[in-house]
Structure formats: C-alpha cells, structure tokens
Chain A
Amino acid sequence: MTKHYFNPQQEDVLKELINVSFGLSASLIGDMLDNHAKLHIPEISSIDIHNLDDKIIEVLEEEYEFYLTKQRFLGSFNGEVLFVFNSYSAQAFCNLLLKQETSDEGDIKSSIMELTNIITSACIGKFCEIIHGETIFKVPSIEKREISEMDKYDKIEGYDNVIVIKTALDIEKENILGHMFILLNNEMLEHLKSTIDKL
C-alpha cells in the first residue's frame, strides 16, 4: 500500500519541516490546555489516493467509530487535509480541554476542530512558506463516521497522492493519537518535491 514519493533526503527535510510546525502547534495546544503538550516526532508515509479508505481503517486498528475533519486549501499551493481521530482520543482530548469528566458530541467536535485547525494551519502554512505559495483555507468540517459504513460515504476526488502523518500528542497521562492525511494532486506533489530539493 505504501508508496515512496520522497527519496530519503527529501523525507528528512519534510520531516524536519513538519517537526518545526509541530513544535509551534504543541506550544499553542499547551496554551489551550494550560498544560504541557508534547507532539512526538512525526512518522511520515505516502500512499496512493485509492488506498485512502484502507489506510484509514488500518490506522484506526480496532476502533469502530472515528472523527474525520476535512479542510481544503486553495491557491498556488492547494489540496485538502483530513484528520482522523479514534473515539477514545477525541473524547480524551475534549475532556482535557474542557476540564470535565465526560463530554457531549458537540463539545468533542468543537475541540477536535480547534486542535486540527492549529496543526493544519501550522503545517500547511510551513509548506506554503517554503514554496513561496499563497493559500486560502476553506471552512473545515467534521463528522463522526463508522468503519462499517465506509463504502457509503462520498469519495474524495481530484487528488492523486496522500502524505500520511502520524500525530501523537502527549498531555498529562493521555496519549492522543491522530492521523493527518495531506491530499495533493501530482502537480502539487512535484512542486513540493522540487522545492524541498532546493532547500
């Protein structure tokens, strides 16, 4: 399933860029929670867009329900970012943010949106910065999905490649695990690669 869009040198640079944006994100997330937040060094892989659903199922392991956020970014650097959180991580993050024992669906969705907004903005902002691109973010959306219903959801079209970034966040004793999927078409991927090569 895994494809190697980036050579080892490109992957190192990409990892470094994401790491920098993750550092910025961790600081903001820590402020959000009035707590120390640590974002682990990202694990990066690449897949073909056709394998997206299978990859989502794979990263969720045995979790049945999950939260999916979607956000498009337009401009000279364009694509779409998806975030997948299993129910446990979503609930745990919301409880930490709102400092409560249990949370309702609206609270969870709103908390996850805030979290993904930070990581997406930091990460895509960094990519834009290095390629000297301009981008506009569309309003994100979030929904709760079930693995068993995967075939029934609308398919995402217009992209060829997916960069998968494992996002592990340590806050207090909780380990919040999410996966970020950056969807790019071939042109954008090549643009990103050639820019990385010049760095």
Chain B
Amino acid sequence: MINCEKIIDSINVGILTIDAELNIYYVNKWFAVHSDIDANACIGKNLLSLFDLSSERLKSLKRHIKTALTLGGPSFFTADSNHYLFPMKNSITTKSIFEFMQQDVTIMPYNIEQKQVTVLIYDQTSLMEEKAKCNKESEELARAIKVANATIKKLETAKNKLVKQKDIIYKQAHYDHLTSLANRTLLTQRLQLLVENNQNSGRKFGVLFLDLDNFKEINDSLGHDVGDMILIHVAKTLLLATRKTDTVARFGGDEFIILVDDIEDEKSLKHIATKLIKAIQQPIRVRHFDLSVTTSIGISLFPDNGTDFNQLIKNADLALYVAKAEGRNTYKIHHQS
C-alpha cells in the first residue's frame, strides 16, 4: 500500500487546502517548514492568522479561488508578475537578493460544493535570481552599447571635423585665397602631371600666360579693393571661358596661367586666346562704374616650346612680353628663334 501522505510530505512543493473563507484544512510538511508553523496546529485556523497578506494580495487570492471554483480549473499566480503570494522569508544563509521566497502558485478546485481549493506553491527564487541577474546583465550591456554608440558618434564627428580641416588645409595650400583659382603649388603639380602624361603619347598641351594690361594704374587710382574685385571677376570669366579639364591658376598679382590639355595645334590655342581676350574686355560694373580691362597673353606649347615647367613658363612669359610690346590686348605664341 502506497503511503500518499509520506510522498506528499517529501516533495519539494508546498501544498495547502483552504476554503473560500481561507480556513485551513491541510498543509504538507514543506508548507509548514517554510512558514515556520506546526502542520497539525494550524488545521482549522484562518490563513490570515499565519500570514500578513496585503489587501491587494488578499483580494487577488480570493478572486483566484473564485475563478478556480467557478471554472473547475486551475488559476495561476506567477513569480514573474507577482513575486510571491505568501510572505515566506528566504533563509539568510542563502544570501538571496529577494527577502521573500519567489513563488509560482497554482490554485486547483478541491471540493467545489464545499468551496475548497488546493494551493500548490513552487519555490522559484533561484529562477528569479537568475532572471534578475540576466536582466541586470542585459541592462549593463544596453548601457555599454549606448556608451559605445555615443563614442562612435563622437569619433565620427571628430573624423568629419578632421576631413573638413584637411580639406580646408588642402585648399589653403593649393588655391588662391582671393580668387579661389589654383595657386602656384597646384599649377606646378598639374603641369608636371601633364608633362608626365603627354611625354610618351605625343599629345600637345598649351600654356597661356595672361597679364592684365595697365592693372597697376587701376589699383593706384581706384584702390586695392576695386583691384581685388576686378581680379575676382577676371578669375570667374576665365573659368567660364575654359573647359573643366583645363587648369586656371593665379600666378601672382594680376598674372594668370591657363593649362589647356589635349590640343591639336597652335590654331586651337589661337582660338582660345581670342575668346579669352574678348571675354575679359567686356565692361565690368564695379561700384556704379563701368570699367574696362584688357589682357595680353603669351603662349607656349608642349613639347615644341619646352618639356618642363620652367621652360614652358619662361617661353610663355617671353611671348607675353612681345604681346605687351606690340600694343597689348593681344596674344603671341612663342616661336623658337
């Protein structure tokens, strides 16, 4: 013969039989030990004489008893959402983070006519501790991710700032601050590149050396600020009159150099020079005055008039000298004498 009571007293689940009025009919050994009560002495007592249940817990317990009795099925409390129903202190030696045992509670109808239910209590403290630990780790991880994301964002901002600064430094080093045209440094690089690229291909490119006619007089009579405005205007005109692949540089003062790549012959350069002279001599409106500026242009041709920077610039400058001597507002192509 199986001794059911012995089995019930040996299982790791709390068992309690009560009625709708919370009168106790039975408790197993587990329940008595964890509640620190005498199993036999509590029979006939009211549950509220053993436990100090909060009004919310009490209401909830009564609702669950009613549900179980009405539906004839189980009603559940879970540790996850309720923590515990019966305040049973956790042992100090277990050093639990929870003061009270975390419980899953199932309320089953026992005798519907007598409104009796059986309450099964499962200790879920370890599980809830693990869960709390996991949640804590998840929160720490989430915080770490947040910090990492913020750091990434800061680094990206710093990187963008550096890229911008690098861009500014590059522009300062390679472009003229007044006209934004290429400066001597960039001109030298571009011309060197053209020489390297065209050396073996046999292709030609032209160097146009421009100098504004009588610009010193304009500067002296109207002031440097007007002179600067004219330079800016001329720079824009030169950019508009040339191709994007050409290099327009401010060589210094009122001197400009244009590198025209991939040309057929001198004829193409003559055509470009004529176009530039016409474009520049268009009246400029500065401070309610219509001013007129002209330019002289000296031209050298790679490889006919030089194969390096100095030769090509020098010969274009010589041609410019001739153009100035012949009355200005004209161009000259260097010819080897």
Residues of A within 8 A of B (CB): 24, 27-28, 31-32, 98, 106, 109-110, 113-114, 117-118, 121-122, 124-125, 137, 139-142
A117's contact among B56, B75, B80, by CB below 8 Å, is which? B75
A121's contact among B56, B66, B73, B80, by CB below 8 Å, is which? B73
Q: B106 on the interface (CB 8 Å rule)?
A: yes
A125's contact among B60, B71, B78, by CB below 8 Å, is which? B71
Contacts of B75 in A (CB 8 A): 114, 117-118, 121
Instruction: Encode B100-135 as 1/0 by CB contact (under 8 A) with A.
Output: 000010100000000000000010000000000000
Please give me the residue from chain A that is nearest to B72 by CB atom.
Answer: A125
Contacts of A24 in B (CB 8 A): 70-71
Q: B215 on the interface (CB 8 Å rule)?
A: no
Q: Name the distance in Å between B197's Cβ and chain A's nearest Cβ.
A: 54
11 contacts between A and B (CB under 8 A): A32-B63, A109-B80, A110-B82, A113-B78, A121-B71, A124-B73, A125-B71, A137-B76, A140-B78, A142-B78, A142-B81
Q: B64 on the interface (CB 8 Å rule)?
A: yes
Contacts of B72 in A (CB 8 A): 125
Please give me the residue from chain A that is nearest to B71 by CB atom.
Answer: A121
Question: Given A24-B70, A122-B71, does the pair A139, B64 have CB atoms closer than 8 Å?
Answer: no
Contacts of B306 in A (CB 8 A): none
Q: Name the distance in Å between B136's Cβ and chain A's nearest Cβ.
A: 16
Please give me the residue from chain A that is nearest to B105 by CB atom.
Answer: A139
Please give me the residue from chain A that is nearest to B70 by CB atom.
Answer: A28
New A-B pairs, 4, CB < 8 Å, besides A113-B81, A125-B73, A139-B76: A110-B81, A118-B71, A125-B71, A139-B106
Question: Given A98-B56, A125-B71, does the pair A113, B63 have CB atoms closer than 8 Å?
Answer: no
Question: Given A98-B56, A137-B73, A139-B106, does the pair A121, B67 have CB atoms closer than 8 Å?
Answer: yes
Please give me the residue from chain A that is nearest to B104 by CB atom.
Answer: A139
Please give me the residue from chain B that is nearest to A142 by CB atom.
Answer: B81
Rank and list the top 3 A-B pairs by shortest CB-CB distance, nearest first.
A109-B81, A110-B81, A121-B73
